[in-house]
Amino acid sequence: MASEIIAIASDHAGFELKETLKADLEALGFSVLDLGADGLDSVDYPDFANALSAAMREGKAGRGVLVCGTGIGISIAANRHRNIRAALCHDSVSARLARQHNDANVLALGARLIGTEVAKDCLKVFLETPFDGGRHLRRVEKLA
């Protein structure tokens, strides 16, 4: 059976954490669609949020991970796309609730604000936690 595809993208500030999380995803058995950035040269985070959102809209990946310095810019950019519910998370509690209550399909992280181990924990919890549905479904539907 083909493994699930997770899209991942960052700007220069998130590049190193993106590389770490990409290796984690592969170790967990996911296929990774890496949409850049490709290094530490300065780039613009909306370009990468837009690329990831387009890839998900086109069905190339079911879920995504975005990283910039704070996670703020790249999550704002992603949430301008109708198909995206990006959640900026700083710990495993926010990652869990983003899945349970918001059915978030993109995890956004701030590489300059959280440590590597916290980011890895957020990713693991985000991937493992199902949507609770119920009263939360009505609310999520209203987002659309």
The catalytic residue positions are: 68, 101
- Please provide the distance, in angstroms rounded to a whole number, between the alpha carbons at the two ends of the chain: 32
Q: Is residue 35 near ligand RB5 by the rule CB under 6 A?
A: no
Rounded distance between C-alpha atoms, residue 104 and residue 116, angstroms: 21
Q: At what angle are helices 116-128 and 15-27 packed, to 10 degrees?
A: 50
Please state the φ and ψ torsions of residue 83, each to the nearest 5 degrees. -85, 0
Q: Is residue 106 near ligand RB5 by the rule CB under 6 A?
A: no
Radius of gyration of the chain (CA): 14
Q: Quick one: 64 or 73, whose CB is closer to ligand RB5?
A: 73
Q: Is residue 13 near ligand RB5 by the rule CB under 6 A?
A: yes
Fill in the per-residue mask, 37 to 76: x = in contact with ligand RB5 (CB under 6 A), - = not in contact: --------x----------------------xxx-xx---
What is the contact surface with ligand RB5 in residues (CB under 6 A)?
11, 13, 45, 68-70, 72-73
